[in-house]
Amino acid sequence: MKKICNLLVAFVCLILCFVVTSCNNNNEKTKIGLVMYQWTDTQGKNMQNYCEYLEQNFPVEFEYEQTYYQDDKHLECVENLIAKGCKAIIAGYDTSLESSVNTCSEAGVYYIVALDYISMSDFNGNTPSEYFLGGTQQFGGDLAALGAEYAKAAVANNCLKVGGVSFPAWGFNEAPEIYEGFKNYIEENSDAEVLDCNYANGFDASAIQTATQSVLLEGVDCIFGMSSGIDYVYPELQGKDVKLISMGYDDSVESLMKNGQLIAAGNNNHAACIASCFVRIMNALNGKQYSDASTGEYNRDGIVNGVASYPVITNLEELEDYKSYIIPTDLSNGPVTAEELKEVMLQYNENATLASLNALTNRSMSEIKAARQ
């Protein structure tokens, strides 16, 4: 009898150990890494805030690395994230893309790009590894339409001579098409003169400010600052009767709009960028793939690309909507909620598609506002 009791006790202990181990395994969080230029600017803070929201709603944990704008540090950051146990890595841009993907592939780690679309040209014609999950098209996927959206502000404010300043086109390759849409809309809807865009010869503040000074010499009354307009273009406009239309957003937007000099601003929907990448990562980690992955609207050369919206702000009411629904403190009221994510994640909804994910992350600000009310 005693022997039987001992066997029963041993069996019960074994079962309890199995249950405890299973619970611990179920409670383990999947690590996802992110590498960006920095985490202290508006873009970095927005992305980190949304990652913290995801941590509160899914069994995931995020690790962060930053290159401080040193491209040669990117691969080192990727290796650091792999060493930290990350199962997937989200990169901001296509920096060191091939070497990063190869490094991740060798480690069995997924890699995805959040702020840039990817095509075969980024791999020099080589077929990317199965561990590469694609890129993310910015600006709502329609560059000319975004330019036209910004142009409405110039027309509404009766601007007569409009110029543009941008980062070099080879680095900001969406800029020419955005500016073309901007210019075409103004010329079709007003009598204003629109100059060709002045592309700076570098990415630093001095290069942009030199380009801005050159445009000011043309006697413009409005400048479309496509090169971090608030940070780099606005300093050259202070004290001048010249309106600013800015690609970019920071906390100064409200005061600049109130004083009348800033007539439009905008920014990438950073939460939507992360949301698109996060869903595709979780699908892959669960061994799932969208049935329409090969035919996505924003795919390039067979490479899957998600999409993220780009809200434009042209008045104080839209600014309040931006604060309330794009970058709110409480992201359960933000652009993409956890419940909405589950609707497009294959582990929660086997009927989800890439098209449904893209529709979710590319909603306009008014559509997001309507969904929250």
Residue where one domain finishes, among candidates 266, 283, 300: 266
338 and 238 part of one domain: no
Taking 3-state DSSP, the helix, strand and coil percentages for the chain, each rounded to the nearest 5, stand at 50, 15, 35
Tokens 């899957």 sit at which residue?
304
Separation of alpha carbons 358 and 360, rounded Å: 5
Residue 227 pLDDT grade (very low, low, confident, very high; cuts 50, 70, 90): confident
The set of residues, in sequence order, having a beta carbon less than 8 Å from that of 161 and lying 6+ positions away, is: 192, 193, 195, 218, 219, 220, 221, 222
198 and 147 part of one domain: yes
Separation of alpha carbons 301 and 121, rounded Å: 9
Instruction: Read off the pLDDT of residues 237-248 as tens digits, 9 standing for 90 and up.
Output: 999 999 999 999
| Cα–Cα nearest to 274, from 347, 344, 361, 369 | 361
Residue 196 pLDDT exceeds 60? yes
179 and 94 part of one domain: no
Instruction: Read off the pLDDT of residues 83-135 as tens digits, 9 standing for 90 and up.
Output: 999 999 999 999 999 999 999 999 999 999 999 999 999 999 899 999 999 99
Q: Considering the domain boundaries, does residue 17 fall inside one?
A: no
Which three-class secondary structure state does DSSP give residue 306? strand
Residue 337 pLDDT exceeds 90? yes
User: For residue 91, what are its two tokens?
Assistant: 């990169």
Q: Considering the domain boundaries, does residue 178 fall inside one?
A: yes
Domain enclosing residue 204, as ranges: 142-266
203 and 291 part of one domain: no
165 and 249 part of one domain: yes
Q: Tell me how many domains the chain contains.
A: 2
pTM of the model: 0.90
149 and 255 part of one domain: yes
Residue where one domain finishes, among candidates 230, 250, 266: 266
User: For residue 63, what are its two tokens?
Assistant: 């690790």
Neighbours of 193 (CB within 10 A): 15
Separation of alpha carbons 140 and 310, rounded Å: 6
276 and 262 part of one domain: no
197 and 213 part of one domain: yes
Q: Dihedral through CA 171, CA 172, CA 175, CA 176, nearest 10?
A: 20
227 and 261 part of one domain: yes
64 and 105 part of one domain: yes
241 and 215 part of one domain: yes
Q: State the DSSP code for 132.
A: B
- Longest alpha-carbon distance in the chain: 102
194 and 181 part of one domain: yes
- Regarding beta strands 135-137 and 305-307, do their DSSP bridges make them parallel or antiparallel, or are they unpaired? parallel
CATH number at residue 181: 3.40.50.2300
Instruction: Read off the pLDDT of residues 284-317 as tens digits, 9 standing for 90 and up.
Output: 999 999 999 999 999 999 999 999 999 999 999 9
